[in-house]
Amino acid sequence: EAGVAQSPRYKIIEKRQSVAFWCNPISGHATLYWYQQILGQGPKLLIQFQNNGVVDDSQLPKDRFSAERLKGVDSTLKIQPAKLEDSAVYLCASSSTLRQTGQYFGPGTRLTVT
Amino acid sequence: GESVGLHLPTLSVQEGDNSIINCAYSNSASDYFIWYKQESGKGPQFIIDIRSNMDKRQGQRVTVLLNKTVKHLSLQIAATQPGDSAVYFCAETPTDKLIFGTGTRLQVFP
């Protein structure tokens, strides 16, 4: 079974630029999550999708972050404009049902904002 | 701040010894807990989970213990191997959200 795929793996941008990350979840997983993981800390949930609908985006900085999952499969996370404090690893995860199987994480995209 | 987060608690063990990683969770309403392993450059990987109606669950070489009285979770790894070197996170679910605790870095030396 293929895992969660993410691209790119690394990205370096200057502050005020924009950036987008892509995620392809495990086939058949209806729930998709985006997390931000700052160096040395645990992942923090940014947004959760159930199919193509948003379940929870309470911790997404909506003035600069946006995410979509138009067809209920792949998802993109965008930051515009980026700030220095956005430097982190952005993890995508998917699950069929959180409580039954746990979430499966992708390898993440490491973003450096200079 | 980020500088504080860089100083992860670290557990150093000799190969073959048992490891015990501890975690204090915050929400008494949490009813499901998961341990994740995160190797460098990779996403967290599910290790084992436990529901609040249990106090112990065993997997292959791993055991999770739950003490709801003091809101404490531990992960025991038997016969620790070099491949166990990673950062370990516990996570709790007070609602449907997964909330990660502070990680612990496990270093295994020969």
Determine the distance in angstroms separating the CA of B106 from the nearest CA of chain A, rounded to an integer: 13
Domains of chain A, each with CATH number or no CATH: 5-96 (2.60.40.10)
Q: Is the pLDDT of residue B5 over 60?
A: no
Among B10, B100, B102, the strongest candidate for a mutation testing the A interface, having the largest count of A CBs within 10 A, is: B100
What CATH class does B2-109 carry? mainly beta
* Residue among A42, A56, A99 minimizing CB distance to B100: A42
User: Where exactly are the structural domains of chain B?
Assistant: 2-109
Q: What is the pLDDT of residues A51-91, one digit of tens each?
A: 989 999 999 999 999 999 988 899 999 999 999 999 999 99
pLDDT at A72: 87
Determine the distance in angstroms separating the CA of B80 from the nearest CA of chain A, rounded to an integer: 23
Q: What is the pLDDT of residues B22-64, one digit of tens each?
A: 999 988 888 899 999 999 999 999 999 999 999 999 999 999 9
Q: Does A43 touch chain B (CB under 8 A)?
A: yes
Written as one string, the DSSP assignment of chain A is: ----EEE-SEEEE-TT--EEEEEE--TT--EEEEEEE-TTS--EEEEEEETTEEEE-TTS-TTTEEEE-TTSS-EEEEESS--GGG-EEEEEEEES-HHHH--EE---EEEEE-
